[in-house]
Amino acid sequence: MLLRTTDRGLYCEAGDFYIDPWSPVPRAVVTHAHGDHLTWGCDAYLVSHEGAAVSRERLGSWAAGLESVAYGETRSINGVSVSLHPAGHILGSAQVRLEYRGEVWVVSGDYKTDPDPTCTAWEPVRCHTFITESTFGLPIYRWPSQQDVLADINAWWRTNASNGQVSLLCAYALGKAQRLIAGLDDSAGPILTHGAVERMTLRYREAGIVLPPTRHASDALRDKSIAGAILVAPPSVTGSTWLRRFGEVRTAFASGWMRVRGARRRRGVDAGFTLSDHVDWPQLLSAVHATGAERVWVTHGFTGPVVRWLAEHGLDARAIATRWEGERDDAAVDATDADTASDSAVNDDVTRGDLP
């Protein structure tokens, strides 16, 4: 086995490095800069060129050991050929390809196959063994068109603005927030950002990602220029005293979990929009097929239904333990509704199948 699971994450013994370790290690190959994949305290990091700036922003003083490579560039680590390939999840997200003695493994990290303008689109990488996430690995998770979702968000914002209300759009500060900002129509009003979102948005702009103008929310509050605004912020601001400074606010959450009935109510928001930076059920199955892998390891999320479907269709599939959490702000939504609502759907879809 080229990789094995350990108490610190996926380990490549031949190369003596870890992929997305969840505790400090001497050498880490990192798929992307979300906190459940990028661990502070490692001696050396290897990331994609595209993801270097956001990784440095997240690592702070630990970034001294960070090195980056272009997508597709091969680096030899103790005789193991390592290359990074676009994952389409957030800016700089990568799949890790390993080759050693004729065996090829690919670790997907987090990924989505729908392209968006804020990161390089996912590319299938042929391999013998594919390690896939399954954050939304249930048949009920099928994403609507992102163009339709963004149109709904803009319409919601315009309605609120016409009623004299500020719109709060909650999303993870790195990746989801910038994807939403890219889809906002700034003719509806000013786009304001929470500080955590603005810091990452600046890194996106420096990387050449074209986004509409934004303004730090605190600056807009000082000069009282918040009329008709939309505020993009992490979900943690809901119910805060800071948010009350904006007056009458309508709230919304953008997440794949909004596909599940009851998620909006649990979040305590006025509107929910189904937009995820992870693959849905049919996209996951199609991605596995595109790799040509004979062996598939499935990690974090609803691993059981995915493993079952793949095994019934002739693949060597198994679940592996992980501390990866997917989108952690999203993960606070109670997933029990998804389990209950999908029992019959899993049976139907596993039998019917969606793989091309």
Percent of the chain with pLDDT over 70: 90
Q: What is the pLDDT of residue 333?
A: 34
Q: Please check the confidence at residue 290 and state whether its pLDDT lies above 80.
A: yes
d(CA 172, CA 36): 13
Segment 3-55, tens digit of pLDDT: 999 999 999 999 999 999 999 999 999 999 999 999 999 999 999 999 999 99
Which domains are seen in the chain, by residue range?
4-141+277-352 (3.60.15.10), 146-273 (3.40.50.10890)
Residue 105 CB partners (closer than 8 Å, separation 6+): 2, 3, 97, 98, 99, 127, 128, 129, 130, 131
Segment 297-314, tens digit of pLDDT: 999 899 999 999 999 999
**Least-confidence region, from 118-132, 136-150, 320-334:** 320-334
Compute the mean pLDDT over every residue in the chain, rounded to the nearest whole number: 91
Residue 346 CB partners (closer than 8 Å, separation 6+): 138, 139, 305
Q: How far are the Cα atoms of 231, 264, 265, 266, 279 from residue 243, in angstroms, in the given order?
A: 10, 19, 19, 19, 32
Q: Which of 146, 30, 159, 137 is nearest to 94 (CA)?
A: 30
Task: Kindly state the DSSP code that residue 80 receives in the 8-state scheme.
Answer: E
86: which strand partners?
Answer: 94
Name the band, by pLDDT with cuts 50, 70 and 90, for residue 321: confident
DSSP per-residue letters across 188-219:
GS-EEE-HHHHHHHHHHHHTT------EEHHH
Q: What is the pLDDT of residue 264?
A: 78
Residue 5 and residue 320 in contact, taking contact as beta carbons nearer than 8 Å: yes
Q: Please check the confidence at residue 356 and state whether its pLDDT lies above 90.
A: no
Q: What is the pLDDT of residue 335?
A: 35
Q: Please check the confidence at residue 63 and state whether its pLDDT lies above 50.
A: yes
Segment 202-229, tens digit of pLDDT: 999 999 999 999 999 999 999 988 999 9
Q: What is the pLDDT of residue 342?
A: 35
**Overall average pLDDT of the 147-174 stretch:** 97
Percent of the chain with pLDDT over 90: 86
d(CA 175, CA 181): 10
Q: What is the pLDDT of residue 354?
A: 36
Segment 223-269, tens digit of pLDDT: 988 999 999 999 999 989 999 999 999 999 999 999 987 887 787 89
